[in-house]
Amino acid sequence: MTPRERYLAVLEGKPVDYLPRLPILMQFAAEWIGSDYGKFTEDHRVLTEANLRCAGHFGFEQWSTISDPYRETEGFGAVVTHEAGKGAVCLKPPLADSEDLSQLKKPDPEKSRRMRDRVDAIRRYRNHDAESHSILGWVEGPAAEAADLRGVSNFMVDLMDNLEFAAALMDLCVENALRFAGAQIAAGADTIGIGDAVASQVSASIYETYILPRERILVEAIHARGARVRLHICGNITHLLPGIARLGVDIVDVDHLVELNAARKAVGKATALCGNLDPVSDVKCGSPESIRLKVETCYERVGNPFMVGAGCEIPPGTPEANLLALCKPIAWRPD
């Protein structure tokens, strides 16, 4: 069974030999191959090489294109630069001082420099081996991208005082994410991640009324194009779980601030859960033995479908032995 076959089988409710592993690696991967995070965010050749070598050494099922949140933001017209060891930096949100949506450019996934680089990463994975591993594309969710374009503080105020504008901005973000997701699927991605971290900071009412319907448009369109969806909202999403359960995503990343049993109760057995380990205290600062115990405990709590990972990105400086422990195969068990 190849890593990709194992990954897809779990999503289809079929028995496998052991649980898929889906760690999120960015700065760790760049540094592990002797590069730096800035180059990782700007050059798909560095990003893919880091993922390929880490997947081979540590053993996991998915090659990723995650690097930073500003791929689409640059396409909209933001000035994005990078620094060695610090990754991509958006010098100023394009709508920081304006509510004029006409100021934004219309991003083109094949022409916008940083969006094209992500599409090229998927092509490079596909050309390397189209069938061995799952290939994860990535788009920003409607709230996350709106916050990148407007500035987080401004966007949060908009959600209280200027909902009509916030909704129009998120609609524009969804339109672009649909184009970007489509280009990545056409290039060879079998899964699209939706990162909407800022959504964890709003009320359940705001989320379900204004953000969730726009996320659902993305999910349904990605599914219609034959790809899977992995939802990643960092932080405590306990209050959002009833809404997330109605999205119909294939995988929900569960950060360590969320009670894993509550996530399973909300989404049921049709959605795979991934993660729940604290990336710092459990993974970076833990021991191989404590990491193994934590993963096994998570699996025992919620059963299938489950995939192994931390709640968010594996931090740089994590001991090699600890990531090896996280990715060490755990036998799949029937419920």
Domain 3-327 coded CATH 3.20.20.210: yes
Report residue 189 as tokens: 């991605």
Confidence of residue 85 (pLDDT cuts 50, 70, 90): confident
The answer to whether the predicted template modeling score (pTM) of the entire model surpasses 0.95 is yes
Report residue 89 as tokens: 């930096």
As a whole-number percent, the residues of the chain with pLDDT over 70 amount to 100
pLDDT in tens, 301-334: 999 999 999 999 999 999 999 999 999 999 999 9
pLDDT in tens, 144-171: 999 999 999 999 999 999 999 999 999 9
